[in-house]
Chain A
Amino acid sequence: MKSVLTTALAGLMLLGILSAATPTPDTHAKKNAPVLMGDGGPYPPCYPPNCPKTK
């Protein structure tokens, strides 16, 4: 059980690190929306000035 968890955890960490090697967050800038990282809460669904005035 412990070895399965260790492998899964190590795999997830490696996948995370490797995914950072693919397109940089700035790639999204062409759509005027740089991708942000954050802890809690959802990613912003829009970026100013493309956001609606009120939801």
Chain B
Amino acid sequence: MLRFAAMIIPYLFYAMWMLPVPVFVCLAVSMLRRRLHTRLPLFFAYCLFQIIDFGIGFYLYHHSLSEYSYTYWITTGISVGLGFGVIYEVFTEVFRPFIGLRDLGRTLFRWATLVMSLAALMMAVVNGPSDSHPLLVAVLMLGRSVRIMQCGLVLLMLLCSSYLGLSWRHRIFGISVGFGIIGAVDLIAVTLMSTWGLNAAGTLSLVKMAAFLFAALLWAGYMMSPEPERMPASESARADQWNFSLAAVVHPGGAGPALPLIQDAVERVFEKTNGKKNGDGHPHLPRPHDQ
């Protein structure tokens, strides 16, 4: 049994490493065909970067482990940066129908980014006696913070999706879940490796790569299947109430608070009229991104 496992592990290792590449190629092509790259440009860039990253990493891993280690730093930095950008993209998309919530969400996100960066900087400065360079510690802390944010975003989606008119079949939900799985597995793997040492790197790499492959397949599935239309803001009563209240706070005494309602009413009248003109009786018009 052990002999069989020893035989199969190298094949499994390469399969886990190489399989996400064709999946990302299909994903990128599907996004281009559905014009989703204009709606989710950072996620599209993230997918393309994974293909390039594989090419560089695979060559260096077999050429020089030292160079692979240095390059891993750079590519991980870019990848985590793009991942952070995707969180912002998802965040904006989640609150898109709610003007008041969207403004609050953006402000909260900026503040969270600032606090996260300051915390990483502080950890690097106050690190005390350590063999590592402060910059190294700051990068590691930032990476860890981004991973925590990815997990937090999934929890936000699970808790608030019904209030925000989102379902499990929406693409932004799938994107968040994929990043959440990668983030959680990475956080757990890194913590275990801190305890077990580099001897466990092979096994934990396998687990991490399996999670990455799963996320890639999940994203491909979401991008290739049709997306249901999002519930109008007016139908998610609680979110609409929050939205209205927040709009009133942001625009006190002006016409601001009524704007979302007016906008929604105009949209519905327009959709009804257009539905009658088309003669199909369908109350909703397909939006450019609902493909």
Interface residues on B, range: 35 or more
Bound form: Cα–Cα A4–B64 in Å: 45
A10: chain B residues within 8 A (beta carbon): 154-155, 158
A17, B150: Cα distance in complex, Å: 10
| Bound complex: CA A13 to CA B136 (Å) | 26
CA distance A54 to B72 in the complex (A): 17
Q: Which of A17-36 contact B (CB under 8 A)?
A: 17, 19-20, 22-36
Chain B interface secondary structure, helix, strand, loop or mixed?
A: helix
A20's contact among B64, B66, B144, B177, by CB below 8 Å, is which? B144
Determine whether the beta carbon of A19 is less than 8 Å from that of B62: no
Within 8 A of A (CB), among B148-207: 148, 151-152, 154-155, 158, 168, 177, 180-191, 193-195, 197-198, 201-202, 204-206
- A12, A15, A37: the one contacting B143 at CB < 8 Å is A37
Q: Which of A24, A33, A51 contacts B65 (CB 8 A)?
A: A51
| Binary contact track A33-45/B, C-beta < 8 Å → 1, others 0 | 1111111111111
Chain B 75-89 against A: per-residue CB contact (8 Å), 1 yes, 0 no? 110011001000000
Q: Are B76 and A45 in contact (CB under 8 A)?
A: no
Q: Which residues of A contact B190 (CB under 8 A)?
A: 25, 35-37
11 contacts between A and B (CB under 8 A): A13-B154, A14-B155, A27-B195, A34-B136, A34-B137, A35-B190, A37-B147, A41-B17, A41-B72, A42-B13, A51-B66
Which positions in A face B, CB cutoff 8 Å? 2, 6, 9-10, 12-17, 19-20, 22-49, 51-55
